[in-house]
Amino acid sequence: MLNNLFEPVTKLKGVGPKTAAALESLSIYSVYDLLFYFPYRYDDLEMIPLDQLNDGQKVLLKGIVATEPFVSRFGYKKSRLSFKLRIDHDIIMVNFFNQPWLKNQLEVGKEVAVYGKYNLAKQSLSGFKFVAAKNEESSLSPVYPVNRHIKQKKLVELIKLALAQKNELMDIVPENIRQKYRLMNDQELVEKMHEPKSPNEAKLAKRSAIFREFFIFQIQLALLTMRPQGRLGTAKKYDLNEIKKLTATLPFELSDDQKKVVNEIFADLHREKQMRRLLQGDVGSGKTVVAVFAIYAAITAGYQAALMVPTEILANQHFGKIAELLRPFGVRIALLTSSTKAMEKREIYRELADGTLNVVIGTHALIQPSLKFKNLGLVIIDEQHRFGVNQRQKLMIKGENPDLLAMTATPIPRTLALTAYGEMDVSEIRHLPAGRKPIVSEWVTSTHLDQVLAKIKEQLSQGFQIYVVTPLIEESENIDLKNAKELCLKLQSYFNHEKVVLLHGQMSGEDKDQIMTDFSEGNIDILVATSVIEVGVDVPNANMMVIFDADRFGLSQLHQLRGRIGRGRTESFCYFVADPKTDIGKKRMEIISSTSNGFKLSEEDLKLRGQGDLFGKAQSGIPEFRLGDLVNDYNTMVVAQNVARQLVKADPDLMENSALKEVVDYSQKVKEID
Ligand code: ADP
Ligand code: MG
């Protein structure tokens, strides 16, 4: 029924392949997409008398060009076009920067309307654009996100064309829900998003549009998870006696939280439904051993397991630990990374395919298409936020609906996780295993570096090892690397009897491993590292960390880094060296040095910045929304989730909601093209 609207944009008058291609770059494929391509702001073109204007106010001013427009050029490609504008009896100065061609549209005596920013002291207007002098019934002018392929003006035109078809829209949110939550229907919503009569109308329309966006998302999730065919898996009959033997060989007792999570996982494995579980637990909370239990259970039930981690260092370390725990039980386990030698790799491929191997631990090397399993029943992704959903999926399809355990040391508040990941059940290890000594954290400015150096000296003299971390951010990689090298040299000369070594991301996997091995065996005293040590590394004798330029890291990244220490039996120390310039920067340093609870940190982080930053786009697996914001619009998301679940429960195939079904199918299709 909505079919007309789903037709390609080329159906519109005057839209050819070239415009269509430009629109595609904005993910606009159909008339429907145009209708739901919303402005990100509105310029208020209301005319306000000069004497009522505030400094910095954006405003539309109409007047007569009073002097010959003049273009002055300065610097490289910079220019200013200026002229005087007479508004009744007043004269103001108008400047357009870097748009010299606008001069052609001007002549003395001509009436123009300029939209721009008013400078009260100088009585001048910094112009943004000329506006067609004739005014429509609303003073609000929508501004759409565009790119270099398509101009604002063109897009406005096309959306106007599309709006002529808006009465073909059918409502997808049930009427009773719309009434209950005072939401606009689709026609009204679309009209008011594009052509609001007042800021308030735009605001109300946006509220409805956000709900609609979340609603579609939640319907998709509900279809995925609530229908039995959405999550078919296999029931794994694991051997509890074997599990008990494994428990008996552990050098420690599982913490209460660990026990609870292991039980949740076992219940999932036992069920026919596919497990999709997210395990959140702070650095050092002991997620690895939980994974070992899951792996061994799957093996005793006759399945293979795969554990994927983001870095080679981590893969090596996990392999060492897990092999030690499981080999005594006859488990056959292999390590596969990009540095695995060709011959060994072939052997691993063969033994995974014929079932000789029970477990493989590895990096992205695991998602190579030619790698096959005999019967992969369990997929574990460690540090899952470092992988995209697609990468995860590439490993999942190597088995027949294998169970999935995703682990992360970057916890997000539980409620948020439940709605954002939607299709995942959430387990948490909230408390560290007993007997851990807290980490003493301190923020110091670079003027107090001597204090830090003295502390390093003290700890070294007691036989401890030190991490020194310095940022290496992709955009400024070369400068950062140079800084890291210099820092290493400085420390070498300052502590001239000690062994100071640099570890950075551009080194070969072999070199990195060698250094990490040396460090963990105690042959290196100070390890100067860029953030490659971020995840997983476990060297209990390293009890101190100094993080330089700490304000260049995100809160959760700092927390991850700090998690490398505090693993031994003694007190440990973390120094954040930073001279933040902004209030938020200072606040972050205060927060990180005052709490070491990852769950608490993530909540604080949320408060300080929006969802986008926190999750780090695309990496998180958390969907991005065009209008809605998971943090600010959280309550709307919860309502959308409830409504969607009830609806899918009552009508699992959306038979009674054909318009909704069409829209959901269509958005799925678009997502796949994108
Ligand atoms: P993470 O959750 O960061 O992956 P790990 O699994 O690496 O943490 O565990 C950190 C350290 O804690 C390891 O050395 C591990 O052996 C140890 N550990 C795990 N569980 C316990 C426990 N219940 N009691 C004592 N130590 C434990
Ligand atoms: Mg870990």
**614 pLDDT tier (thresholds 50, 70, 90):** very low
Closest CA to 96 of 121, 69, 75, 63: 69
Joined tokens for residue 445: 């400015």
The sign of the dihedral angle between the CA atoms of 292, 298, 300, 305 is negative
CB-defined site of ligand 1, < 6 Å: 252, 254-255, 258, 281, 283-289, 409, 433, 538, 567
The answer, yes or no, to whether residue 500 has pLDDT greater than 90, is yes
Mean pLDDT of 314-335: 95
Integer-rounded Cα radius of gyration of the chain: 30
pLDDT confidence of residue 617: 37
**430 pLDDT tier (thresholds 50, 70, 90):** confident
Instruction: Tell me which of 289, 316, 325, 537 to substitute to probe ligand 1's pocket, judged by most ligand atoms within 8 Å of the beta carbon.
Output: 289
Joined tokens for residue 647: 């609806």
d(CA 372, CA 172): 42
Give the distance (Å) from ligand 1 centre to CA of residue 432.
Answer: 8
Phi-psi group of 84: left, alpha or beta (phi > 0 → left; psi -120 to 50 → alpha; rest → beta): beta
The answer, yes or no, to whether residue 134 has pLDDT greater than 70, is no
Mean pLDDT of 433-459: 91
pLDDT confidence of residue 665: 86
d(CA 73, CA 81): 9
Phi, psi of 287, rounded to the nearest 5 degrees: -80, -30
The answer, yes or no, to whether residue 566 has pLDDT greater than 90, is no
Q: Any alpha helices (H) in 327-475, and if so which ranges?
A: 342-353, 389-396, 414-420, 449-461
pLDDT confidence of residue 388: 67
pLDDT confidence of residue 420: 64
Instruction: Tell me which of 249, 257, 280, 288 to substitute to probe ligand 1's pocket, judged by most ligand atoms within 8 Å of the beta carbon.
Output: 288
Phi-psi group of 88: left, alpha or beta (phi > 0 → left; psi -120 to 50 → alpha; rest → beta): left
Joined tokens for residue 300: 């005793």
Between strands 124-130 and 276-281, the pairing is unpaired
The sign of the dihedral angle between the CA atoms of 629, 631, 634, 637 is positive
The more confident residue out of 660 and 133 is 660
- Among all bound ligands, the one having the nearest atom to the CA of 314 is 2
Mean pLDDT of 147-164: 90
The answer, yes or no, to whether residue 183 has pLDDT greater than 50, is yes
The answer, yes or no, to whether residue 29 has pLDDT greater than 70, is yes
Q: How far, CA to CA in Å, does 492 sit from each of 97, 486, 502, 515? A: 52, 10, 10, 16
The answer, yes or no, to whether residue 181 has pLDDT greater than 60, is yes
Instruction: Indicate which atom in ligand 1 lies nearest the CA of residue 289.
Output: 6
CB 224 within 8 A of CB 217: no
d(CA 112, CA 84): 12
pLDDT confidence of residue 128: 87
- Among all bound ligands, the one having the nearest atom to the CA of 568 is 1
Q: How far, CA to CA in Å, does 138 sit from each of 166, 197, 264, 392, 528? A: 19, 5, 57, 49, 61
pLDDT confidence of residue 474: 61
Least confident of 34-43, 353-362, 448-457, 591-600: 591-600
- Among all bound ligands, the one having the nearest atom to the CA of 288 is 1
Instruction: Tell me which of 260, 283, 285 to substitute to probe ligand 1's pocket, judged by most ligand atoms within 8 Å of the beta carbon.
Output: 285
Ordered domains of the chain (ranges, CATH): 46-130 (2.40.50.140), 231-429 (3.40.50.300), 440-615 (3.40.50.300)
Give the distance (Å) from ligand 2 centre to CA of residue 429.
Answer: 12
Give the distance (Å) from ligand 1 centre to CA of residue 193.
Answer: 52
DSSP state letters, 4-28: HHHSBGGGSTT--HHHHHHHHTTT-
| Bridge partners for 469 per DSSP | 529, 547
Number of other CB atoms surrounding residue 274 within 10 Å: 18
**372 pLDDT tier (thresholds 50, 70, 90):** very high
Q: Which pLDDT tens digit goes with each residue over 642-667?
A: 999 899 989 988 988 889 999 988 88
* Amino acid of residue 125: L
Mean pLDDT of 165-184: 93
| Residue whose entry in the numeric block shows the structure tokens 């001069």 | 103
**411 pLDDT tier (thresholds 50, 70, 90):** confident
The answer, yes or no, to whether residue 418 has pLDDT greater than 50, is yes
Give the distance (Å) from ligand 2 centre to CA of residue 236.
Answer: 25
CB 633 within 8 A of CB 210: yes
Nearest residue (CA) to ligand 1, atom 24: 433
How distant is the alpha carbon of residue 446 from its chain centre? 31
Give the number of C-alpha atoms closer than 13 A to the C-alpha of residue 74, restricted to the C-beta side. 4
- Among all bound ligands, the one having the nearest atom to the CA of 293 is 1
Instruction: Indicate which atom in ligand 1 lies nearest the CA of residue 283.
Output: 3
SS3 264: helix
Instruction: Indicate which atom in ligand 1 lies nearest the CA of residue 563.
Output: 3
The more confident residue out of 146 and 441 is 441
Instruction: Identify which of 50-54, 96-100, 179-183, 494-498 has the greatest average pLDDT.
Output: 179-183
The answer, yes or no, to whether residue 621 has pLDDT greater than 60, is no
| Measured torsion, CA atoms of residues 130, 136, 138, 141, in degrees rounded to the nearest 10 | -30
SS3 636: helix
pLDDT confidence of residue 414: 67
Instruction: Tell me which of 246, 250, 252, 311 to substitute to probe ligand 1's pocket, judged by most ligand atoms within 8 Å of the beta carbon.
Output: 252
d(CA 668, CA 672): 6
| Bridge partners for 403 per DSSP | 378
Q: Which pLDDT tens digit goes with each residue over 231-264?
A: 788 899 999 999 999 999 999 999 999 999 999 9
Mean pLDDT of 85-101: 92
Least confident of 17-31, 190-204, 610-624: 610-624
Instruction: Indicate which atom in ligand 1 lies nearest the CA of residue 540.
Output: 14
How distant is the alpha carbon of residue 436 from its chain centre? 31
Give the distance (Å) from ligand 2 centre to CA of residue 10.
Answer: 51
The more confident residue out of 334 and 412 is 334
d(CA 191, CA 38): 10
Joined tokens for residue 427: 């387990």
How many residues comprise the chain?
674
SS3 203: helix
How distant is the alpha carbon of residue 435 from its chain centre? 34
Instruction: Identify which of 39-43, 137-141, 187-191 has the greatest average pLDDT.
Output: 187-191
The answer, yes or no, to whether residue 409 has pLDDT greater than 70, is yes
Q: What percent of the chain has pLDDT over 90?
A: 54
The 8-class DSSP code of residue 521 comes to: T
The more confident residue out of 415 and 64 is 64
The answer, yes or no, to whether residue 425 has pLDDT greater than 70, is yes
Q: Return the exposure string of 487-516: e unless at least 16 CB atoms fall within 10 Å of the residue's CB, then b.
A: bbeebbeebeebebbbbbeeeebeebbebb
CB 106 within 8 A of CB 69: yes
pLDDT confidence of residue 174: 93
The more confident residue out of 597 and 15 is 15
CB 628 within 8 A of CB 635: no
The answer, yes or no, to whether residue 441 has pLDDT greater than 80, is yes
Give the distance (Å) from ligand 1 centre to CA of residue 563.
Answer: 11
**39 pLDDT tier (thresholds 50, 70, 90):** very high
Least confident of 4-8, 135-139, 168-172, 619-623: 619-623
The answer, yes or no, to whether residue 291 has pLDDT greater than 70, is yes
| Bridge partners for 115 per DSSP | 60, 129
The answer, yes or no, to whether residue 49 has pLDDT greater than 90, is no
Mean pLDDT for all residues in the chain: 87
d(CA 257, CA 248): 18
Measure the N-to-C terminal CA separation of the chain; round to a whole number of Å: 24
pLDDT confidence of residue 137: 65
